[in-house]
Structure 1
Amino acid sequence: MTPSRWSDLDRPPLNAAALRRAVVTPGGLWTALDVVDATGSTNADLAARAARGAPEGAVLVAEEQTAGRGRLDRRWTAPARSGLFFSVLLRPGAAAADGAAPVPAERWGWLPLLAGVAVATALSRVGGVDTALKWPNDLLVTVDGGERKAGGILAERSGADAVVVGIGVNVSLRADELPVPTAASLALAGAAGTDRDPLLRAVLRSFADWYGAWRAADGDPAASRLQQTYAAGCATLGREVRAELPGGAELVGTAVAVDGDGRIVVAPSDGAAERALASGDIIHLTATG
């Protein structure tokens, strides 16, 4: 027998109609919001819609993802209704509805960092959980005094002018459901509440605010204050890190800045010149503070 959506009273289904009324408003960024019981990947589904001409601002939410992906094609799985699993369609390469010009493609790399800022600030405000960012796009919370990953972001280009941004956040995941010991959830981090409806509304509103400011500034991360805000919430800065680079190389040093292109700047431990990294896996080697 297929379990009912109400089989776990701690994990009620999202109210799609109420969410649409709250976030799909005239003149706002969000133009459509759909909730599906299950899908392989909201990013893949929304990219297909983008290819068919879906407008900017489409939001696709899944109660469960069976083939969710993170960076470097890592799998992202979680029990049904235990988190927020959704994607949004942005068209930064097209003129905005309010007349804003297309954003230069070289600045689109800021979109996953923008999403991180939007999600972290919303969860901290509404969920009551201090949320930090690990470059480039992991969401960190503190559980039992240790730093753990509670969510992640994956941005993928779709066609000439579109980007699909996927966001996954563990909300009510229990200790015995964690996929790895370094994972966490808002509940395990002591969240004030785990009702996903207000959390999703807050995240989408925060995202719309940051995206609007970024577009109005022609994608300039400094003029939109995105760069400063990201740096302020980035737990990677000031830490000794090991960067695992494409091709198998490694770099150990101190993360000293996030530059204007969204790259992490590392001062190597061997005294060599600082390097700005656009990609790679970052491992924190020292604790915060």
Structure 2
Amino acid sequence: MSPSDTSGSRWNDLDRPPLNAAALRRALVRPDGLWSEIDVVESTGSTNTDLVERAARGATDGTVLVAERQTAGRGRLERSWTAPARSGLFFSVLVRPGDGVPSEHWSWLPLLTGVATAAALSATANVDTALKWPNDLLVTVAGEERKAAGILAERYGDAVVVGVGLNVSLREDELPVPTAGSLALAGASVLDRETLLRAVLRSFEEWYGRWRAAGGDPAASGLQEAYASGCATLGRTVRAELPGGRDLVGEAVAVDGEGRLVLATGDGVQEPVAAGDIVHLRPAS
């Protein structure tokens, strides 16, 4: 077979081998566990979009959808998320928290996903990570904080779909923007995507179990404390770019019980921010 004959093969980039769906199922799906179904597709527009559609058709709690490539990956505020095929982990999970978790606590699910992902990467790949409120994961590349992952949560009825886009092996010339990073650029000791995905899903299962057992209470489950301890936004002067075009500048002093970022402004007022873009203006003191 000539090299041109392999151009469309899923094996044509041996530095970025495909995921083994059967091996992932053997490792993660068990009768007493969270994960019930794990599918890997070669390409799709957005795993979140696909899984929200499956939720509408009654997909089971604990469904995971992974794409080797996303052509229309979405972040917050409908921003796009693009990366070369098999250069990262692009996946979504569907959970149905049930009546035992009041819906007002569901806003913690993207923050829970951030904690679980950061903990898994630290333990498995020996890479320092930090959380930027509300849903970014930062790594350090050449002394600079860069975004290596984004998280997007969407609700459909009694289901929540949480998507993760994580840059694993992207090189500098492949980054979509200069402020992006990857595990490879951050010096991670492990870049095998199956190993990383197993670690992240196991970590999510552990944190989700704690959170559900506590009725979704972020303090009782330890989630609020864990998020605060790993959050690079706290202690910094930031600018919150709020919906409607309003900006708010202040020191990020806490993440409250609803998952909101609390800013102490120059006039002595503490104001919670539920949604918006956060720009880090100065490092934490």
Classify the TM-score, shorter chain.
over 0.9
1:287 equivalent to 2:283? Answer yes
Q: Which whole-Å deviations, capped at 9, do the CAs of 1:195-231 have from their partners, x for residues lacking one?
A: 0001000000000000000000000000000000000
Kindly indicate whether residue 192 of structure 2 is the aligned counterpart of residue 187 of structure 1: no
Alignment of structure 1 residues 73-222 onto 2, 5 Å = 73-92=78-97, 94=98, 101-159=99-157, 161-222=158-219
Q: Residue 6 of structure 1: CA displacement?
A: 1.4
> Is contact 2:40-2:67 (8 Å) kept?
yes
Deviation at residue 193 of structure 1 after TM alignment:
1.8
Aligned match of 1:97: none
1:17 maps to: 22
Distance 2:42 2:185 in 1: 25
Tell me what 1:98 maps to: none
Query: How far apart are the structure 2 equivalents of 1:11 and 1:288?
Result: 37
Give the corresponding residue for 1:271. Answer: 267
Find out whether 1:43 has 2:23 as its counterpart. Answer: no
Which residues in structure 2 correspond to 1:47-66 (within 5 Å)?
47-66=52-71
Checking the alignment, whether the CA contact within 8 Å between 2:237 and 2:284 is kept in structure 1 is no
1:14-72: CA deviations, max 9, x gaps? 01110000001111000000000000000011111111111100000000000000001
Q: Shift of residue 142 of structure 1?
A: 0.1
Deviations 1:82-117 (Å, cap 9, x if unpaired)?
Answer: 00000000101x2xxxxxx43101110000000000
How far apart are the structure 1 equivalents of 2:191 and 2:11? 16
What is the distance in 2 between the residues matched to 1:22 and 1:273? Answer: 50
Q: Structure 1: how far apart are the matches of 2:178 and 2:283?
A: 17
- The counterpart of 2:38, out of the listed 26, 29, 33, is 33
CA distance in 1, matches of 2:19, 2:227: 29
Label 1:232 to 1:120 Cα distance change in 2 as closer, same or farther (>3 A): same
| Identity between Structure 1 and Structure 2 (%) | 72
Per-residue deviation at 1:288? 4.3
Q: Runs of at least 4 residues of structure 1 off by over 3 A?
A: none
Distance 2:228 2:141 in 1: 22
Shift of 1:287: 2.4
What are the superposed Cα offsets for residues 99-146 of structure 1, whole Å, 9 maximum, x if unpaired? Answer: xx4310111000000000000000111011111100001000000000
CA distance in 2, matches of 1:206, 1:84: 15
| Deviations, residues 224-253 of structure 1 (Å, cap 9, x unaligned) | 000000000000000010000000010111
RMSD: 0.9
Q: Trace 1:238-257 onto structure 2 (pairs within 5 A).
A: 238-257=235-254
Aligned AA (1:157): R
The number of residue pairs the alignment matches comes to: 280
Paired amino acid for 2:42: D
Contact 2:43 2:71 in 1 (8 A): yes
Q: Which amino acid aligns with 1:259?
A: D
Secondary structure, counterpart of 1:200 in structure 2: helix
Structure 2 unpaired stretches of 5+? none
SS of 2:139's equivalent?
strand
Normalising to structure 2: TM-score of the pair? 0.97
